Amino acid sequence: MNRRDFLTTATTASAALALGGCNDSNRQAIDYSKHPHAKENDTKRVNVNRNKKTIIKLATSWPAHFPIMGTGVENFAQRVQDVSGGSLEIKLYPKNTLVPALAVFDAASSGQIDAFHSGPYYWKGKNSAFSLYSGIPFGFTAEEINSWMLFGGGMELWREQYAIYNLHPFMGGNTNIQMGGWFRKPITSIEDMQGLKMRIPGLGGEVFSKMGVNPVLLPAGEIYTSLERGVIDATEWVGPALDMKMGFYKVAPYYYSGWHEPGSILELTFNKQFWNKLAFEHQAIVEVASSEMNANMTYEFHAQNIQALQKLKELNITLLHYPKDVIAAGKKALSEVLQELSDKNSDFKKVYASIENHLKLSKEWSDTSLRYFLNER
């Protein structure tokens, strides 16, 4: 077949397919009313923003270009712009450039900003249940909390409770398992924990408080100076990659493995009214890009931590595990904290019941599969 005949045949076939599609329109039509994001006005669904531009004002709790967390959000913003063909732009405001680092929740709730990137446990003062969405001591790994969120009912509970504050959250990354902290002096027993001033947020802070520690909540930029000057005696942060960049090893050389945050969710949260007004295709783009950010950030933490650990071992630090009596005290304290918060707050009780059910099944599966494999490896 020569080129002219081929093109003629291809054109005829394409036209036939198009006509066939038109004749079959009733059978082939997609029922958008069944889509989870269906709206009354389905005209929003088809390229209505081709010649328009929407800007999202997004503030973060991290400094500009902060490794992994900050750069992860920057990559997300670029991804959204690229996929949308420029019709959706995210204007980033790193911490303290528009609102303070720990004021982003209120700013988005009130509509001062459209969205923010931070961590749910920072807002436990609003509702103690919010700390559970970041994870719990001795609880979910990154993989487990993602499975609970997406397929175990966690996301539905999270959005239901955030909606009261006019907010609509997405998972926006995971730090993966975190280290137990940097200490100026070694911990040899539970007695060494008494009266210790330690930067530690969330449920981990509640548990350490029960163990005799004085938990302190500090933004990232104040931790090193506070540790250096003795304002605090210890700090947990994330893991080797970010901890080394913060320089904690210079003033607190005792580095402990952790159990207080085995897999901590970060959040990408929108003002709910703003989110509902976004065009369907823009919502879809944000959902896909946030899912990618959630995965990439988790994997990047792992990749950078395994490299950074080797570099830390070359420095003058001591890698340690908490003594057994500290771990036992931690488990006892966690049980007490969970019971007390469940008794005080029906939201907390409801969320923890969902977590407990999912975690019980996951532990049985992990013991059967992953624990065996890791031991053999």
**In whole angstroms, what separates CA 88 from the centre of its chain?**
22
Q: Residues near 370 by Cβ (< 8 Å), separated by ≥ 6?
A: none
Q: Both tokens of residue 163?
A: 């909606």
Backbone angles phi and psi of 223, in degrees to 5? -70, -50
Instruction: For strands 254-256 and 318-320, give the pairing.
Output: parallel
Identify the CA nearest to 55 among candidates 90, 86, 79.
90
Query: How confident is the model over 87-108, as a mean pLDDT?
Result: 96
Distance from C-alpha of 169 to C-alpha of 181, rounded to nearest angstrom: 29
Comparing 248 with 3, the larger pLDDT belongs to 248
pTM to 2 decimal places? 0.85
Whether 213 shows a pLDDT value over 50: the answer reads yes
Distance, CA of 271 to CA of 22 (rounded, Å): 40
pLDDT tens digits, residue range 241-291? 999 999 999 999 999 999 999 999 999 999 999 999 999 999 999 999 999
DSSP letters, 295-353, are: HHHHHHHHHHHHHHHHHHHTSS-EEE---HHHHHHHHHHHHHHHHHHHHH-HHHHHHHH
Per-residue pLDDT tens digits for 135-163:
999 999 999 999 999 999 999 999 999 99
Q: Which domains does the chain have, with CATH numbers?
A: 53-176+264-303 (3.40.190.170), 181-260+316-344 (3.40.190.10)
Separation CA 228–CA 224 (nearest Å): 6
Residue 220: which pLDDT band, with cuts at 50, 70 and 90?
confident
For range 312-329, the mean pLDDT: 95
